[in-house]
Amino acid sequence: MESFLPVLEAAFAPGNLAWILFGVTLGYLVGALPGLGKGTATAVAIPLTFYLSPLAAIAFLVGIAKGSTAGSAVSAILLNTPGEPSSTPTAMAGYPLARAGKAQKALKMGLFASVIGDLFSTIVLILVAQELAEYALGIGPVELTGILAFSMVFIAGLSGRSMIRGLIAGLFGILVSCVGLEVETASPRLTFGLIELYDGLPLIPVAIGMLALSEMMIQMGQRRRLEQEADLLRGSGRREDRVVTLGDWRRSARAILRGCLIGTGVGILPGLGASVGSFLSYGAERRASGRGVDFEETGAIEGVAAAESADNAVVPASFVPLFAIGIPGSVIAAILIGAFTIQGITPGPLLFLENRDLILGVYMSMMAASLFLLLIGYFGQNVFARIVRISPALVMPVVVFLCCLGAYLQGGGVFGIGVMAVFGVIGFFAKKYDFSFVTFLIGFVIGPSFELSLRQTLGLVTEFSELMDHPVALVFGALAVFGVWRLTVLQRRQHEAMVKDRP
Amino acid sequence: MPKSDLIAGIVLLVFGLAMLAVVIPTQTSEGGDATISPALLPQICAVGITGLAVLLVLQAAGRLRRGHPAGVRVPTAEWWAMLAVLLAIGAAIALFVRVSPAVAAALLIAGPMLYMGERRLWLLVGIPAVLLVGSWLLFYRVLGTAIG
């Protein structure tokens, strides 16, 4: 208990709490703006963390991720424009409510469901991550190679609609991670004589380019649509249309519980992402209600609750594989690896041994962020409802500037901006042609670990029969092969069904 | 989306072959006493990309033959937006090197604002000014670092 007190002191120090509060507010604000999601928000905020303590830096970024996930419900409900794809079900169930004058009720239920989902998932993270890390400590390079290969296949298959394109994106990410000095011989590789590339391509400019800049290019091209969608919110004078009543809670309690479980499960599995969680939860509630299309025509408070609880439960749960094994399961987790690296910390099972206080502090900060989420969302509701109507012509140039600032600070000056611009263009085409940028980023992040463990494996295992001494690696290798086959078959069936349904 | 898959597949095929035939051999050393060649992982990736690109092309060609719709077409407005952003960044870099960071940053904000149809002078001047002063205060004063 005594050793826990300094952790509590650090986590609840006014300075740390102020950064969490700032993070949640900033995240909520960015999430509420149409077209801006948690990836963009977290990526452009990285420069602010360079000069913070590790705990404040991670807590700040986690606050942004949590805030923007919850905030994206605001534009989804008020404008029918989801801040990011995972809020689409919220828009489907919430926008009709807003049109019927029940916007405040929908926003409040969305907020409460978000906070419950987030808190539930944070508790699961705290309970599960360390246990998993203890198992992970017994993993050797051969096993790690198998696990990383399996994770890549899993992420490639599930984060997009095509296994082939997912695998290409992942392999491209690993290829790009090979740029720089090679790990064993320290000889330059794929550097084209540029000394700036000897340290490899910097993660933050690459991430900002792929996530934020490319998104801005696309959104700026769709500015007319975004402006047209700015509809006026019609308020209602009736109190029961503005507050969440006991009846609403009764209708939504089961949806929230199911959303928490679905979101947490989806978050723990690398690559599935928040959209899968919110759509699954929304679909399950829609089926359970038996209301069919009426759900979208008149709106459904329980639909908002189902989607938001799952959407928000995904974020903390996606840190389980990051903290326990060092594998980023989502874009936010990949960006957090960058933040950990800046602070000189390597995520993975050793985190609980070498940086135990930091992790405990992060857990406490995550709980505090959940509380701030509730306060900021509840008391700032009217302010955020106005902010969503700010013209994209004012917001997007500011984001472009912040992208350049972040890339400049972390990428070695103008060179970083150049790297960001190149990956902005790559990200633009990746998004338009459905090559998963999530898989690319995760491939880029795990590339160096994969290469190191592959080299060690090739040194340790010289004959195929020696693999029999590594059953865990064999199982994951087999699962990777099975995953490629199974996911390809499933995607082909989905595609055929889609073609058949087409008029 | 067979047509866009076909185009993407061909581009990736050319990329993969170029990596295997030209870039990796010329940009990777032999490795000397290294147990495993430094080119191993890039080669694995390039072979994988090339092989998967062939599959993508074959799959797309098959779908096109069966008369599936052509698929994704990037709207002209999005092409222009991409070019506008790149142009603003390029011009800002040139101004950063030759004139001053403040002018470069102002152009980086005001340029895209103009492109997006903002014509109110007070906003075109005010937003860059507020952002520049805010960034300066945050990074120099609060966080204690230096930019530019």
Give me the helix-helix angle, A356-379 and A54-79, nearest 10°.
Answer: 30
Q: How many domains is chain A partitioned into structurally?
A: 1
Per-residue tokens: A240? 């029961």
Q: Are strands A180-181 and A188-189 parallel, antiparallel or unpaired?
A: antiparallel
Q: Are residues B46 and B96 in the same domain?
A: no
- Residue for token pair 């002078």: B121
> Domain for residue B101, yes or no?
yes
**ipTM of the prediction:** 0.92
How far CA A468 is from CA of A436, A472, A474, A480, in Å, comes to: 34, 9, 7, 17
Chain A residue with the nearest C-alpha to that of B90: A418
Position A502 scores a pLDDT of 54
Per-residue tokens: B88? 């603003």
| Dihedral sign from CA coordinates of A283, A288, A293, A299 | negative
Contact B29 A185 (CB under 8 A): yes
Contact B147 A51 (CB under 8 A): no
Q: How many domains is chain B partitioned into structurally?
A: 2
Of A184, A224, A499, the CB nearest to B68: A499
Position A501 scores a pLDDT of 58
Candidates A161, A409, A433, A462, partner chain B, best to mutate (most B CBs within 10 A): A433
Domain of B102?
76-142
Position A44 scores a pLDDT of 78
At residue B145, does pLDDT exceed 80? no
What is the residue-wise DSSP string for A421-477? HHHHHHHHHHHHTT--HHHHHHHHHHHHHHHHHHHHHHHH--SGGGGGG-HHHHHHH
**What residues of chain B lie within 8 A of the CB of A409, using their CB?**
147
Backbone φ/ψ region at A130: left (φ over 0), alpha (ψ -120 to 50), beta: alpha
Residues of chain A with pLDDT under 50: 231-234
Per-residue tokens: A276? 């899968």
> Domain for residue B11, yes or no?
yes
Position A258 scores a pLDDT of 93
As a whole number of angstroms, the distance between CA B115 and CA B143 comes to 33
Q: Are residues B55 and B96 in the same domain?
A: no
- For the segment B138-148, the average pLDDT, to the nearest whole number, is 66
The answer to whether A174 faces chain B, any CB pair under 8 Å, is yes
Q: Are residues B91 and B134 in the same domain?
A: yes
**Nearest by Cα to B108 from A420, A250, A167:** A420
Give residue B13's pLDDT band: very low, low, confident or very high (50, 70, 90): very high
The answer to whether B43 faces chain A, any CB pair under 8 Å, is no
| Dihedral sign from CA coordinates of A30, B84, A194, B139 | negative
Q: Are residues B34 and B10 in the same domain?
A: yes
DSSP H helices, B19-120, are 24-27, 40-65, 76-98, 101-115
Q: Buried b / exposed e across A92-130, counting CB within 10 Å, b at 16+?
A: bbbbbbbeebbbbbbbbbbbbbbbbbbbbbbbbbbebbb
Position A271 scores a pLDDT of 64
What is the residue-wise DSSP string for A359-423? HHHHHHHHHHHHHHHHHHHHHTHHHHHHHTTS-HHHHHHHHHHHHHHHHHHHTTTHHHHHHHHHH
Of B65, B87, B109, at which residue does a domain stop?
B65
> Domain for residue B71, yes or no?
no
Q: Are residues B51 and B84 in the same domain?
A: no
Give B55's contacts (C-beta < 8 A, 6+ positions apart): A164, B9
| Dihedral sign from CA coordinates of B70, B75, B78, B83 | positive
Give A202's contacts (C-beta < 8 A, 6+ positions apart): A410, A411, A412, A416, A419
Put simply, the chain A residues between 377 and 396 with a CB less than 8 A from any chain B CB are: 391-394, 396
Tens-place pLDDT, residues B106-132: 999 999 999 988 899 999 999 999 999
Of A47, A48, A190, the CB nearest to B42: A190
**Nearest by Cα to A420 from A195, A202, A218:** A202
The answer to whether B110 faces chain A, any CB pair under 8 Å, is yes
Q: Whole-model pTM?
A: 0.80
Position A233 scores a pLDDT of 47
CB A2 within 8 A of CB A29: no
As a whole number of angstroms, the distance between CA A482 and CA A474 comes to 12
Contact A164 B78 (CB under 8 A): no
Position B132 scores a pLDDT of 92
DSSP H helices, A137-245, are 141-158, 163-177, 203-207, 214-221, 223-228
Q: Are residues B48 and B102 in the same domain?
A: no
> Domain for residue B52, yes or no?
yes
Give the bridge partners for A181, in sequence order.
Answer: A188
Q: Are residues B56 and B88 in the same domain?
A: no
> Domain for residue B148, yes or no?
no
Domain of A153?
4-501
Backbone φ/ψ region at A413: left (φ over 0), alpha (ψ -120 to 50), beta: left
As a whole number of angstroms, the distance between CA A172 and CA A174 comes to 5
| Other residues' Cβ atoms within 10 Å of the Cβ of residue A8 | 12
**Nearest by Cα to A41 from A77, A66, A76:** A66
Cα atoms in the 13 Å half-sphere on the side-chain side of A275: 14
As a whole number of angstroms, the distance between CA A292 and CA A300 comes to 11
More confident residue, B147 or A179: A179
Of B45, B65, B85, at which residue does a domain stop?
B65
The answer to whether A451 faces chain B, any CB pair under 8 Å, is yes
As a whole number of angstroms, the distance between CA A352 and CA A308 comes to 31
Q: Are residues B81 and B26 in the same domain?
A: no
> Domain for residue B91, yes or no?
yes
Position A495 scores a pLDDT of 67
Tens-place pLDDT, residues B41-94: 999 999 999 999 999 999 888 888 877 766 667 888 899 999 999 999 999 999
